[in-house]
Structures are given as C-alpha cells and as structure tokens.
A and B are shown apart, each in its own frame.
Chain A
C-alpha cells in the first residue's frame, strides 16, 4: 500500500507541473498545434485540416454549423436531461471541426483497449467464479463483497461463452503526444455510439471536400460488428438463427434516440419490457403473429430495474422472470448482470494489477494516477491538496457528484472536505489532468478546447471488434475539463487517418 502511494505521488508531481488550474489550456497538449502554446508547430496529421481552417471565413462555419443543427433536430437526435423540465428534448452541441488521430496512435490504443477489455471479462468471470484474484491479494475482498454493484445472484452462475462485457466504452484522455490514460471503464450500458455514427454522417454531408483529401477510416460498419457480436453469444439452447432484441426503458429515457437508432441499424426489434413475457424460463416477445422466442437481449436497462422479482420490486421497466430465464441459460443478456462492479471507480484503481494478473502482460494503457481515499495515507494527502485535485464519487456517473479542485470555490472545497472525512470509502481523487485540446468552433472563432475519447469495444464469442475512432467529447466552455453532455459538453467527429 505504501509503495503504491509513493508511486502515485511521483506521478502527480509530473502532471501537476503542467497543470495548475488557471491557464490549463495553455499548459495542455494541443492535438493540432503540438506542444503547449503551439510551440511544436502543426502536427502532420492536422496539416490538411489546418490549411482548410485557414481558408474558410467565419460565416462559412456559422452556416455549416446551423445546417448541422438542423440535420440533428430533424432526424430527432436528442437527449433528455434529468431534472430539466423546461426542454425535455435537447440537442448535444456538435462541433464541426473533426478530431484527428494517426494510424500508429490508433493501433496503439486498439491494442491497449483489447488487452484491457480482455482483462475486464476475465476479472468478472473470476469474481463471480473461483475468485483467484481475491485469494492472490490483487483486490481486497471487502471491495468486492461490500460493493453495491456486486451481484450475489451471479456468483457461480456461468454466462454464455464466459463473456460479461460485450459492449464496453472506455474513456481515454490524452496529455501528450505519446501519453494516453484510461479515465473510466464503462461496462454497464455505455451510450454515445449513435453520436459517433451520426456525427460522421453529418460531416460527410457538410464537408465532402475534406473527406476527398483525407483517408478517413470508416465507422459505419459498427452496427454490423455489434450484430455479429450479439449473434455470436447465443445461448446453447437458443435458435440456430438467433433472435436478437434491444430492450429499452422506453421513450422517456435520456438515450432513447440511441436505442431506436441502433435497433433500426441492427435490424432487430426495439422492445420494452411490456413487449416481452417469460414462460417456462424462456423469454418471448408479443408479436402480431403470436409469441416469438428471444435468444439475445441487448439491454439498455440497469441491473436494478431488470427484474422486479429479483431486484427493485417497484421497477415498472423490468421483466418479471427474466433472471430465471437468464440463470437457466435460455437467454443471453448483453451486458451480463453484475458488470457494474468492473466500472466501479474504486475497482478502477486496481486495473493495472488486474490486467497484469489476468493477461500476464504489462498494461499497454495506463490508468490515471489515482488516490484511493479508503487508504488513510492517501486520504490525508488528498485533503491537504484538495484544490489541485479532481475528486470523484466512487458510484457517481455522468459528471454528477464530482469536484474539480482548481475550479472550485472555497465553500465547495470545504463541503467536499467534510464529505471526504465522513465517508472516505466513497471517493477517489486524481490529479487535475491537462487534457489535450483540439481546435473547436466557438463564439469567438476557432479556439482550443479540452477533449476526451470514448472508443467502443465489442467482445464476442469469436473475436473482439473495435471500429476505428469512437466518440470525442469536448468541453465547450473555455478552460472547462468536464466533457459530459449532461454538463454542457459537446461532441466531435473522430477521424483515424488510414495513411
């Protein structure tokens, strides 16, 4: 434990030198202009884009941006923001300047992502099976057993093909030309892939000339890859030609557009729980021609709402008996029940050890150095340096319940200090990373804004599939590091250049 704290502290100094809150954007690595302050000159991957940006007038960007917005609104790509009564359907702001990655950068990420997701699946099979990693002291037992996302119902329950996380969204941030970190593993029901696809669609409509001058790797095969992945994990008792359905909580869910979009592209039924019923441990959907057996369910409903007989009894979104059918091996749920534990922020801190233990390799993608506030030495360090750190609630998501030290007021800092002392187990802390910036079209013109990247990793019985790129999220407010759409973030098209 002491050793790990020391190692983390050394890392912090490294990063803090670059990032001290104010002026973070100047300190950050800019993906177009190279080092801080554009000192390194335009990077080769961005040369074409840089030239093109210089040739266009501000009016050109303005008209293109409003055309993009019109496109998104007309096709109905909207999301709902919880607690926002006024506008129940909003657009995620779209930035028309793409983010560019080179082939070598992407190959590196791709190898790292495959390794990490392989380890995640092995870890889940282990903690719900023989628990070797607990016995070997890789992760503390109480972190698993006392974790609200550990599903006792899944202990010693084999899942088809031993795959738990069929669809993962791994959030990656960049701080330098060669430095990428994994910020979060989203292993429950990661969303955003529809934006990856629609952003590309709208870019190709608006800027055909840009695509003519760049060899941009396509992403449009994602639905095919997803369908192949889902069909590959059909349970042994299932149909030879598997029936796949996408289970949505319904049209009031914030990601409903994405659910219907994906079902359409996959060519599978978009079902709500009321369209399904369970008889003799088999799941059927109600169709105009009578009951049809369902073999694989891509569910976009959280564990706790899935089956009112097993989890929350007040859930109206769930399907009574689906867990029975699941445990009887008659239906595959993607993702599996109980994957929440692997995207838990406390478990995250053990990922380097988990990767080493299950793959026998050193992790290709590093974690952001992280203090586990559950450890007393780490806690006192965090309390002493709160104004320089980002503190996250272990079970929070979507940017809620998070403190960005350098941007916080005295009162917010005091409040978080109290929270930390009261329940240290609930928090982790990370240095304020100088997230890389990309040129972004904002009110004042083209300016650098911080970005992250969410690639989507598909694990099937046959192979792991990743389409090149992912969803780039951008913090549109100057200096802001929070990219979540619920907190005013936007998105960009992400280009992986083939040559």
Chain B
C-alpha cells in the first residue's frame, strides 16, 4: 500500500474519533452546566471543557471569555480551531477523498454525507438543536466505524484505520485525566460531597462509561475506581489498557504481513506491558499526574514511530 494511503487512513480515523470525543465533551458539559451551582461547583465547566478538548491559547486569541456561546462555537464550529467538530469532519473527508480507492463505498458514503450535512449547522442553533447536533455527530462516527468493521477487507488498510482510532482514543482519555486528575485523588484526601460526585460522573459520561462503571465495580462512584476504569481496565473500550491491546494486536498483524518488526511494535508492546504490570494504588503512589504525563509522551512517541515506519 502507498505510504500516503496508509497516512490518510490513519488520520481519517483519528479525526473522526476526535469529532466523537469533542461531541461527548460538549454533551457532558451542557449537562453539567444545567445543574444548579451548588451541585456543579464553582469552577467554570466551559473553561474545563476547553482545557480537555481544545487549545486554550488559541481560544483566548479568538474570544474574550469562556462561556457557553464562545466554547460551543470554538469546539463545534470554528474553522480556526483545527480540532473543532466541523474541521475534524472536513479533514476526515478530505483524507477520504484523496484515498477513495482504499475505502469501501459505505465508508465514503458515511463521511461524504456527513460533510454535506454539517454545512447546514452553525452556532446560531438553539440548545435543543445543539444537543441533537451532538447526537448526530456521535451517530456519524458510529456509522463510519461500523462501516469499516462490516465492509473493509481485513488487510493493512483496515489495520491502519484501527491504529488511528486507538491512538486517538488513548490520547483523548489521557486528556480528560490530565485536566481532571485533581478530582480523582485517592480516598485519604477527601471523600464524597455531592459536588465531586457530579464531577466524577461527568468524567464517566465523557467516555460513555457511566453504566459500564456500575457493571464493573458494583458500587457507588469512587474517584480511584474511575481512574482504574480509565487506565487499567482492559474491558473498558476507552481505557489506556484496551487502546494498547488494540494497538499491539494491529501492529503485530502489520508486522506479520510485511515480515518485519520495528520501533512501533517495540514501543506499543512496552507500554502495554507497563500497564498490565501496574496496580492503581501504585499509580497513585507515584502520582497520577506524573503517570498520565508519561503516558501522553509514550503515546506521542508511538505516533511518531508509526509515521516514520509506515506513513512516509
């Protein structure tokens, strides 16, 4: 396969995954913002959404303050924000257009229709319309992912789309943890309070894991268990552990098909081994923030290794 084709498949998956992520963050934020102040806390939840899903410096160069209107515009529609939902869909579709031959008709149809459809939306829409818009974005990404699963040949083209979405997911989960780690401090620090409860459940909503949490832990929401779910639990689709299982599996398939292993296989399996050999208590002992920061650096290193080994 052409390196450029692999590159486009990788990035179209990354960008569609990112569109889904930004939509989830906005959805959870709208919900948190609708709670009375005493439940939602003093902090500006729009500020926090911005920190998770966007580039705060870029935002400040474009708007005077973070509120519902400006953050909604920036994260969902702004052409100036490379990670706005609109841009993610446009970039994903541009990548798809340049590698039409590597996509199935169904995938192209999903992306092209989304691209045609999103032109109809801008920030003037009402709260209700906005929340329908977010649902629509999530459905587009589900459909695209479903089309990839159901229609693509199981060859390197498919594997590169899996790599793109897994590495992006890992990065997205890490972003949430990086911004909100202070809420997830261990039991000894401070427990309970309705304020924190809504913050924690917001985190779970952002990764669509609120129900999953109860099934896995069968108890009320505890911050260290939230961290455990997002980092180490292999059953949780967006956890670091699961993302790295996907990355290792598909990098191995590529290495077998091409008959050669390289830096990306080494980095990915190293990171997975580290995740598997760690307990959540050890992570808290070493510092959650430090752990997440190291993980983000490793994840970026893997991205560069994949680019160097296959995409250029």
Contact = CB atoms under 8 A, between A and B. Distances in A.
B1 interface: yes
Nearest to B98: A251
B258 interface: yes
Contacts of A288: 1-3, 6, 156, 160, 254, 258, 310-311
B109 interface: yes
Contact of A74 (B4, B97, B113): B113
Contacts of B98: 250-251, 260
B312 interface: yes
Interface SS majority for chain B: helix
B100 A260 contact: yes
A76 B312 contact: no
Contacts, number: 57
Interface residues of B, number: 26
Nearest to B260: A289
A260 to B, nearest CB: 4
Nearest to A89: B97
Contact of A251 (B5, B94, B116): B94
B101 interface: yes
Interface residues of A, number: 22
A76 B1 contact: no
Contact of B100 (A73, A264, A274): A264
Given A76-B108, A263-B101, A286 B4 contact: yes
A286 B310 contact: no
A269 interface: yes
A163 interface: no
B112 interface: yes
A251 B2 contact: no
Given A74-B109, A76-B112, A287 B101 contact: no
Given A250-B98, A260-B101, A287 B112 contact: no
Contact of A287 (B1, B99, B260): B1
A270 B103 CA distance: 13
A130 B105 CA distance: 50
Interface string A252-265: 00001000110110
A285 B109 CA distance: 29
B2 A269 contact: yes
A11 B109 CA distance: 52
Interface in B28-55: none
A125 interface: no
A443 to B, nearest CB: 25
Contacts of B156: 288
Contacts of B3: 275, 286-288
Interface string A410-429: 00000000000000000000
Interface string B243-261: 0000000000010001010
A275 B112 CA distance: 25
Contact of B112 (A74, A285, A289): A74
Contacts of B2: 269, 271, 275, 285-288
Contacts of A73: 116
Contact of B101 (A74, A264, A272, A289): A264
Contacts of B4: 272, 274-275, 286
Nearest to B105: A75
A260 B100 CA distance: 6
Given A75-B108, A76-B108, A289-B260, 9 more contacts: A74-B113, A75-B109, A251-B98, A264-B101, A270-B100, A271-B2, A286-B4, A287-B2, A288-B254
Interface of B: 1-6, 94, 97-101, 105, 108-109, 112-113, 116, 156, 160, 254, 258, 260, 310-312
5 contacts: A74-B109, A275-B3, A286-B4, A288-B254, A289-B258
Interface of A: 73-76, 250-251, 256, 260-261, 263-264, 269-272, 274-275, 285-289
